[in-house]
Structure 1
């Protein structure tokens, strides 16, 4: 415990949390409409054109319905992802876990678990607000409390989110530095932003594509209001049955999801690194310490 506290005190970790928070907010504001179209493809098995047509028909006001929850959820989640990873990585006893790869995997897994317990209620609410069947039944974000009346209902889909977060966090933090080092060395701030954007975009696009079927099952679990205790694997079977056991139908929306992930994680990583540079500059430190 002493070594953990010493690491947390000597390493100024607040920039990681704050930079992640800002990066998450910028990302949601930029990509929410794309995410809504993807969600419609996931829950209804629609092709891209049909999903866009459905969202367009509902109008501009409905386009941003439900953004409050993902804005809070994603900003907090990204802030926790970067901040907790640094906290766990630097706080793990070097005498027990000295190898960089092992420390990264353990820190990323612990971060994914922590994120999941924070993010699941937000994702649950977002899923219901974006589901067309509840447009007339659930008025707004605050009205969710009248429909989700137990902890179990708020945490539906937790298993899928744990699987998604832990696996993608491990891949992201394991390959982030090697990929950045493999890219050309930037000669300017714009060049650095481009490198950070490319690094985040490549990792985000790959991760989101690999884990896409898990998100489809998670969306299926979270789009319903009931006291069902259906497990992740039972939900997988149900989703496959509804789609005539055609695995390719689990990938409806994956193209747009890949595009969104490229943009989203490019924005997140580039914004995070830019904020970290600003927060860690000597000028800022003089005013804060």
Structure 2
């Protein structure tokens, strides 16, 4: 059976997206365990505006036991987030392809050109936006990683309990930058993942296939992460605040820029973030594809 025909015709393609959720979750789990110390270093630079050396010294001074302090929320949040990113994308894409079939019939042309890109972009935007439901976990991660709250919060559920008197809005502080980041970045990732991989010449080697997945995921993920770096800075600064006003994204970036002496201060830590993203997205993309081979499943597109 032609693979493209199976993608266009829902009755010819498997409809279960559960394995996509599992692949995303396991890929994220492996990534967080490996890269969390670097992520914490970047977070300190984003929030405190310090150089990499000063931020590293500060983390070291807090002791080895605190290096992985706060790993719980990102481990849960990122596993759920990546599960949602890949699983919901697959689920939404299948639904969109069914709609295309109803309106255009079952033909190879339905997955060509703008129809394919449009379906992928729509599914990615929906999946990325849905991930924002997990904002409270990102909020808990931010508070646990901030040195000012080392003695105030014990763990994730302690954060959730102590935020309750401040109202529901406190759980979703930073929601707007998360929406601005998740949707567009997911669109870029899913629509460009295949084309970027195809730039790398293919060879009859399993190791080379894994390497292509790693490199394409690494370059694409790191580039997207760099583009949205100021949005992430705003998100981190907003979520590091406990109580008080709820400044907007533009206001937060403007304040950070003023306090740190210009855009260079806003982008402080971007080089480490790029390096971490190279490794993170390389791990996520290659692990996701390896798991697909092991489980014997393929995504919708």
> 1:196 aligns to what SS in structure 2?
helix
Root-mean-square deviation over aligned CA pairs:
1.7
Q: Quick check: 1:181 aligned with 2:198?
A: yes
Q: CA deviation at 1:117?
A: 1.7
Partner residue, 1:224? 241
Stretches of structure 1 lacking an aligned partner (at least 5 in a row): 1-5, 282-289
How many residue pairs were aligned?
Answer: 274
Q: Pairwise mapping of residues 65-80 of structure 1 onto structure 2 (< 5 A)?
A: 65-80=69-84
Q: Does residue 31 of the first structure (1) align with residue 35 of the second (2)?
A: yes
Q: Give me the whole-angstrom Cα distance separating, in 2, the residues matched to 1:9 and 1:176.
A: 22
Q: Does 1:236 align with 2:240?
A: no
CA displacement, residues 139-166 of structure 1 (integer Å, 9 cap, x when unaligned): 2222112331122001000000001111
| Contact map agreement 1:8 1:87 (CA 8 A) in 2 | no
Partner-residue secondary structure (3-state), 2:153: coil
The Cα shift of 1:13 comes to 1.5
**C-alpha contact (below 8 Å) 1:147/1:225 kept by paired residues:** no
- Aligned partner of 2:133 among 117, 141, 146: 117
Supply the distance in 1 between the matched residues of 2:12 and 2:186 (Cα, whole angstroms): 21
- Cα distance in 2 between the residues matched to 1:143 and 1:21: 24
- Three-state SS of the structure 2 residue aligned to 1:147 is helix
Give the superposition deviation at 1:167. 1.3
Q: 1:229 deviation in Å? A: 2.5
> Which of these residues, 275, 284, 291, is aligned with residue 259 of structure 1?
275
CA distance in 1, matches of 2:133, 2:155: 23
Deviations 1:218-266 (A, max 9, x none): 000000110423222222222222223x011111000000000000000
CA-CA distance at 1:104 after TM superposition? 1.3
**TM-fit CA distance, 1:8:** 11
- 2:69 equivalent to 1:53: no
Give the TM-score normalised by structure 1: 0.91
**Is the contact between residue 66 and residue 140 of structure 1 (CA under 8 Å) also seen in structure 2?**
yes
More displaced, 224-233 or 91-100? Answer: 91-100
Answer yes or no: is the 8 Å Cα contact 2:140–2:160 preserved in 1: no
**Contact 1:21–1:78, Cα closer than 8 Å, also in 2:** yes
TM-score (norm 2): 0.87
For 1:145, the equivalent position in structure 2 comes to 160
| Aligned mates of 2:43, 2:11 — CA distance in 1 | 41
Conserved? CA contact 2:47–2:233, under 8 Å: yes
Residue of 151, 169, 183 corresponding to 2:186:
169
Q: Secondary structure at the match of 2:155?
A: coil
Alpha-carbon contact 1:17-1:80 (below 8 Å) kept: yes
Q: Is the 8 A contact 1:15 1:280 kept in 2?
A: no
Give runs of ≥4 in structure 1 deviating > 6 Å: 6-9
Determine if contact 1:153/1:227 at 8 Å carries over to the other structure.
no
Query: Which residue does the alignment assign to 1:286?
Result: none
Q: Alpha-carbon deviations, 1:186-222, whole Å to 9, x = none?
A: 3222111111101110111100110001100100000
